[in-house]
Structure formats: C-alpha cells, structure tokens
Structure 1
Amino acid sequence: MERTDSDVRRNPVPSLLKSLMNDHLDPGYRAAARDREQGRSRGSEVARRVWIVVGALLIGLVLSVAYRQAVERLPATEQVRTEILGKVHDVEDSIEALAGTREALTLQVDDARDVALEGDARGTALLDRLRELEGDAAVEAVQGPGLTVTLTDPPARPNLSDSSQRSVGGKAVVLDRDLQAVVNSLWASGAEAVAVGDVRIGPAVTVRQAGGAMLVDNQPVFSPYVVSAIGPPGPLQTGFVLSDAYLRMSGVEQLYGIGFSVAEAADLHLPGASVREVRVARSVGTS
C-alpha cells in the first residue's frame, strides 16, 4: 500500500519560528509607519519637550543634592585627616626623641664600661675584644673613604612586554633583589662597612620589599637608593665592576630605564646598626 504526501505526518512548525521566517519587520514598526502616514502620532512635540525638561530638572536636582552633601561632609573629612596627620607627626617626633635618648644612654654606658675595664691588663684585653665584636656587628658608627652605588626608580613605566615582572602598582621599580645583589657584591669586593640610605647593614639586617615600599632593617628607604661602602676605593670599585651585580644592573638600566651609577667617595659617614636583644648565646666550639 502506497502512502501519499497527505498521509505523511509532519512536525508542526512553531508559530514563533514561522513568524521569524516570514515577518521580517516588527509589527510595531509597521504600525508606527502606518500612523505616520495617516497623520497620527502617539504624543505631541510639546509633550515630549515637557518630559525632557522634567527629566533634566530631576537630574539637576539629584546632582545638586549630592553636591551639597559632599560639601557638607568635606570639613568633617578634612578635620579627621588633619587629626590623623597630627597624631602621625606626634608619634614620629616621639620616636625621634626616644632614639636620641637611647643614643645618649648608649654613650653613657660605653663610657662607664671603658672606665671600669681600662684599669688593668685583663680589662683592657676584654675591652679590645668587645670593640672588635662591636665592629663585626656594625654597632659603631664608622667613617672613611669608599664607594657609593646609586639605584633610581625610572620616571615612567617602560613599554616592554615583560615589564610586569618588574613593576609595583603599574610602575617599574628597583627591586629588593637588586639591592641585595649590590650589597653582597660590595661585601665580596672587600667592603668593611655597608649602608643603604641611612640604615647600616649588620648581621641580622634584611632588605626586602613590601608592596611599593623598600624596607631595610624594617625601616622604609626611598628612591634614589644610595648604597655606601667603606673600604679601599680602587680595589673596591674594581671588584664591584667585575661582579655579577654590576652586569645585572647594567642590563636592568638598559632594559627598564632604572638609574644606575657608581662613584668613589673620599669621606663617608655610616651610622651604627640597631642593637638587638640577645636572648640565647653560647661559646663558639661548645655544644
């Protein structure tokens, strides 16, 4: 038995799909065009202008209220900011005063120690040993000729594909590992004392980066970073120029625009490092 086309059951075409295939113009556009042809419109020109004016007035009202509230809050915000800055300055002054008192007391203790130990040969030998250990611990301030290495952040971020590896907040900067490499190379080149900015490098001092701040012994140091080293200027400079740190910073200077300079110094003054409390100690060679 043969089946005709009328006997074949076909899937019904959804009305929405049929409308999309057959109606290429939205009925609303067609109705609007028909109304314009017949001279009818949904709203007069005056009504539209009235609504535009009303909307503009409402927007202006909202903006004026927001501006007034911002102006009213400004004095209070400025007052809070002034109070916070005042507290910060007071704390900084207090810290500076306490640091001065500590230095004065340290000098008094050292003088009393010298007077007590210089009376006999045993005390003198012990005093010489203490001074030698204090020199190794970078406790005492030192003065002499040497070398300065200056690293400076560039004025703007360089346009390089890998600049994100050497940036903080979208700006290329000197990294903590740069300063670490310079300091270690100066020690290896024969430096007797090293300082970054006004912070002396001692046995327990660290150079690290926290966000956009460079911390040396947990004290902020800002660009330009001046690394000062006391030692024989000629051999010190020769050793540093031949070091890996010099090659590293020369490449960084060319690639990222970071400032890098080396100069001899006839007279450097380096402060003493911070004295830390000794909690545990033992004689060398004992268990």
Structure 2
Amino acid sequence: MAEQVRRNPVPSLLTSLLTDHLDPGYAGAAAERSAQHTRASRVPVALWLLTGALVIGLIFGIALSRLASGAAAVDRAGVDASAAVRAAQNRSAELEATRDELSEQVAAERDRALESDAAGGELLDRLSAVESAAGIDSVSGPGLSVVVTEPTDARASAVRTGSGAAVLDRDIAAVVNSLWASGAEAVSVNDIRVGPNVTIRQAGGAMLLDNRPIGSPYEVHAIGPPQRIQVQFVVSDAYLRMSTVAQLYGIGFSVRPVDDLELGPAIVRESFEAKEAGPR
C-alpha cells in the first residue's frame, strides 16, 4: 500500500479572506443603521419643523430689532445735527444783524464828528470813496440782472459734473468777472455783495459764496449803466460760455436790464499789504 501523501490543511483565515470580502463589523454597522432608519421616530416631524421655524423667526426678529434701533439712532443723530446747524445759522444771522446795526451807529457818529469843519469834510469824502471802492456801503441804482438756473433734467447734471449740480463755481465766477470788466460798479450774487477777498467755491454739489451756501437760481446783479454793461457783456467770453452750456445741458441763462437795484454792504475783512524789505 502506497504511502499516503500528507497535505497541509488550508488555514481558516486564508479561506475567510478569499470568501468573505467584507469585514463582519462593517456588515453589522450597516444592519444597525438600516434598523434605525426603519425605526419609528419618537419626535414627530411637524414638531421639528415648528421648532426650526421658531428659531429662525427669533433670529430674524433680533436682527430686525437691532437694525431698527440703529436706524433710529442714525435718524436722531441727523435730527440733532440739523438742529445744531439751524441754531448756528440763526446765531450767525443775529450776530450779522448786530454787526450791521453797530456799523451804522459808528458811521453816523463818524459823519457827525467830521462834518463840523472843512478838514473833516474832506476826510469824510475820501473815506466815502474808499468805502465805495471796497464795497462796504449800500448802493442802489439801475443795472443788469443775470440769472443762471440748474436744469430740470437731472441727467444733464450727471453728464456734466457726475453729481447733482450742473452749474459750476467757475461759471458764476466767469459771469461776475465779466460784469466787472463790462463796467459794473457793484455786484452781488443771491443778495450777497461781492467785495474784496470774496471767493466763489464749490464743495460737492453745494455752491459757496464767501463761505456761505447759495442755491439755484443764481441771481447776479450788477449796478452800473445798463446799456453799456449789457453791450459789453453779450460779447464777452463768459456770455459765450454760458450760452453754449445752456444749449448743451439745459441750464437756464437770462440777461435783462433792471431800472432799480439795491445792494447791501460787503463784509469788511482785514487786508494785508506787502512791502519791500529794507536792507539788513
């Protein structure tokens, strides 16, 4: 009898690796998840939805309340700032009225003191000429009125300046300078006398004359011989400029003679004079 060949038994671990491709632990976990998915939920779905809706509503409510409180604070700050500006404007108007009243009293006392003799009268005439040249006295008489207005179409303003104003500070300055060159003896813009050291500036969409805001329509009044001023003004570069701007952007521009104009005094400011320095 032939001797039987002894074979090595196949290890059980190797057999399981060849036959079972998935670890039993993974299969158990998958079965547990399936059992949990099929198990009835203890909390109804409607209750979860209601709770979520309440939480979301609470969050939105808090956000809206904070937004409303912030807007209210901004509104209060705006109201307070507007009130402060109005109070400052009223105070400035009161001070200007007091200054004008005191100036009139000083001028009356000065005139009374200087009219007593010939030397005083001569000095008074010289002072009157200087005051007239400086624009610190009220004047009246015939003249020319130039009115410049903003266009009614806001798109025209945006095309020219990119802001809410189409009339520029250099437009008003050009008109004022041209009226002076045409023979005007006194000029005002929106009842503000244009005197020495008075500037016309623009800050954003606001027009400032002597650091005081002015708005459309811009009424430029010039006292002097109406015929002569008008004839010279209509052939000036400023007239050509404003006529072109009026046609392109719809800006209002009109010129007319006026029989009786009255301009108030200009604000008196300190003037400085430069002198040549002597040898050291």
TM-score scaled to structure 2, two decimals?
0.74
Deviation, structure 1 residue 64: 2.0
Structure 2 counterpart of 1:167: 161
Return closer, same or farther for 1:49/1:252 CA change in 2, 3 Å cut-off. Answer: farther
Query: 2:201·2:207 contact (CA, 8 Å) conserved in 1?
Result: yes
Which residue of 219, 227, 242 maps to 1:249?
Answer: 242
Q: Percent identity?
A: 50
Deviations 1:206-237 (A, max 9, x none): 11212221111111111111111111112211
1: CA distance between counterparts of 2:128 and 2:169? 31
Deviation, structure 1 residue 141: 1.2
Query: 2:185·2:222 contact (CA, 8 Å) conserved in 1?
Result: yes
1: CA distance between counterparts of 2:142 and 2:46? 83
Which residue of 115, 127, 138 maps to 1:130?
Answer: 127
Runs of 5+ consecutive residues of structure 1 not aligned to the other structure: 1-46, 283-287
Query: 2:156·2:166 contact (CA, 8 Å) conserved in 1?
Result: no
**Equivalenced residues, count:** 233
1: CA distance between counterparts of 2:94 and 2:104? 16
SS in 2 for 1:229: strand
- Would you say 1:228 and 2:228 are equivalent positions? no
Return closer, same or farther for 1:212/1:159 CA change in 2, 3 Å cut-off. Answer: closer
Query: 2:183·2:224 contact (CA, 8 Å) conserved in 1?
Result: yes
What amino acid maps onto 1:182 in structure 2? Answer: V
Structure 2 counterpart of 1:150: 147
CA RMSD of aligned residues (A): 2.8
Deviation, structure 1 residue 86: 2.8
- Would you say 1:209 and 2:209 are equivalent positions? no
1: CA distance between counterparts of 2:48 and 2:191? 68
Bigger mean CA offset, 55-64 vs 175-184: 55-64
Query: 1:158·1:172 contact (CA, 8 Å) conserved in 2?
Result: no
2: CA distance between counterparts of 1:55 and 1:156? 51
Query: 1:172·1:256 contact (CA, 8 Å) conserved in 2?
Result: no
Deviations 1:16-71 (A, max 9, x none): xxxxxxxxxxxxxxxxxxxxxxxxxxxxxxx9999988776655433322222233
Structure 2 counterpart of 1:179: 172
- Would you say 1:276 and 2:273 are equivalent positions? no
Query: 2:141·2:262 contact (CA, 8 Å) conserved in 1?
Result: yes
Query: 1:149·1:260 contact (CA, 8 Å) conserved in 2?
Result: yes
SS in 2 for 1:145: strand
Query: 1:168·1:211 contact (CA, 8 Å) conserved in 2?
Result: no
Structure 2 counterpart of 1:119: 116
Structure 1 counterpart of 2:39: none
Deviations 1:162-221 (A, max 9, x none): x65x3152x351111111111111111111110111211112211121222111111111
Query: 2:173·2:200 contact (CA, 8 Å) conserved in 1?
Result: yes
2: CA distance between counterparts of 1:48 and 1:264? 86
What amino acid maps onto 2:127 in structure 1? Answer: L
1: CA distance between counterparts of 2:56 and 2:243? 58
Structure 1 counterpart of 2:4: none
Structure 1 counterpart of 2:88: 91
Structure 2 counterpart of 1:218: 211
What amino acid maps onto 1:146 in structure 2? Answer: G
Larger Rg: 2
Query: 1:200·1:273 contact (CA, 8 Å) conserved in 2?
Result: yes
Structure 1 counterpart of 2:16: none
1: CA distance between counterparts of 2:45 and 2:165? 55
Structure 2 counterpart of 1:20: none
TM-score scaled to structure 1, two decimals?
0.72
Query: 2:143·2:226 contact (CA, 8 Å) conserved in 1?
Result: yes
Query: 2:146·2:253 contact (CA, 8 Å) conserved in 1?
Result: yes
Runs of 5+ consecutive residues of structure 2 not aligned to the other structure: 1-43, 276-280
SS in 1 for 2:148: strand
SS in 2 for 1:261: strand
SS in 2 for 1:190: coil
Which residue of 105, 108, 125 maps to 1:108?
Answer: 105
